[in-house]
Amino acid sequence: MGDWDWSDGCDDDGDDSDFDWESEMDSAIARDDQESFISLDTSPVSRNFGASYVVPKLWNLICGADAVNCATALLEGKLDQTAHVDRPGCRGAYPLHFAAYELAPRVIELLLSRGAQPNIRLYDERDMDKHDVWLPPRVECRLEMKEQKGMLPLNIALDSARQTLCWHNVYSPGQPTFQLIVSLCLPLMKRALAACKLLACSSENVEKEAYCYGMEGKLVELAVLLIVARKQVFTPVTFHRNDGAVISTRMTILQCLKNQILSLVDEEMKPMNKFEHGRVIQIQSKIMALRSTALLLKVFESAGDSIEEYLQLQQPVDVQREQMEKDVALRLAEKGFILKDGDFDFSIGDWFGNLVFQCLFWDCCTFLRLHIH
């Protein structure tokens, strides 16, 4: 089939032998059986399948099974078709994008070791000319990653990690922060965390990605980053002024949250007419979201080492969630965190209360200055 055969495929309906070949091919990839994989791909029967098993489809199957031996064969040209770590396929997706989407840590490690770039974003066809991405004509893409357009491999992996929690119905937005931490410690998240860690360790500006997740209230993605790349998350972010002045400010994500919460509390306390009630509700909702983000950060700032140590204990696959909740709660209690009604007490360290007091104090000072003069 040659390099990157994007033909539309064959109209032959095939026979039982074709069906057996397809089944055996899928099985070989699932077992990560390189010898069978090569034998099946180079057999005469394989030519009946046309576009059904072109490189993007193979990457999808290989990454889904985290089949590193099959991936190695594909990269080393042992098949009738060859893949390259630096050549994009469907919708501008590089092999690393596929591996990130499928949370395939062994394949991710292989691709990174062979020069895959972790800082290339996923673009659709409209952006390809601008980024010098070449695609052959008559592309018929069966592998869609529309929602991941513009994402880095790390972003794609974090998004897939979030979806993994949803698919297994172990955590959903709005549940207590404590339950999020416990859910990420479950054995079923081991592969997702391993994939995200590899990408976080090789990606640039992880602290900026964490800042964006924090400010947008994306707790799952931020929590995963706190588990796999805690030091980078707490690295100060550099902000540049928009007016062109050569002035920059460095702040940690916690400092940014503090400033944002203070600003919102200050706005909430300003007099508003009855027509702005919706705005007040919006502000209060945003404050609550930022409080949850700040709480998550404070937990990992104090207890991150203990959580990481717990993850390294290799919990048995059949461990009961109730037991994990007790284990995690005990570790957090040792760091001074108290559970109240199934979640952490917001009064821990009076962090948020102190913020509100600061805001009230500044407002009173402003009021006095205006009226004394």
Specify the amino acid at residue 16.
Answer: D
Q: What value does the CA radius of gyration of the chain take, rounded to a whole number of Å? A: 25
Residue 347 pLDDT level (bands cut at 50, 70, 90):
very low
340 by DSSP, 3-state: which?
strand
CA-to-CA distance for 124 and 137, rounded, in angstroms?
A: 15
Residues 6+ positions from 59 with CB-CB distance below 8 Å: 71, 74, 83, 89, 95, 98, 99
CA-to-CA distance for 124 and 132, rounded, in angstroms?
A: 12
CA-to-CA distance for 143 and 140, rounded, in angstroms?
A: 9
Is residue 276's pLDDT more than 60? yes
277-311 and 253-269 helices cross at what angle (nearest 10)?
Answer: 160
Is residue 360's pLDDT more than 50? no
In this prediction, residues 180-194 reach a mean pLDDT of: 96
Specify which residues 343 forms β-bridges with: 340
The pTM is what? 0.81
In tens, the pLDDT along 78-127 reads: 988 778 888 877 667 889 999 999 999 999 999 999 999 999 988 755 44
The torsion angles phi and psi of 343, rounded to 5 degrees, stand at -145, 175
Q: How far apart are the first and last CA of the chain?
A: 84
Highest averaged pLDDT of the listed ranges 50-59, 137-146, 361-370: 50-59
Q: Which long-range contacts (CB under 8 A, 24 or more apart) does 128-131 make?
A: 128/92, 131/92
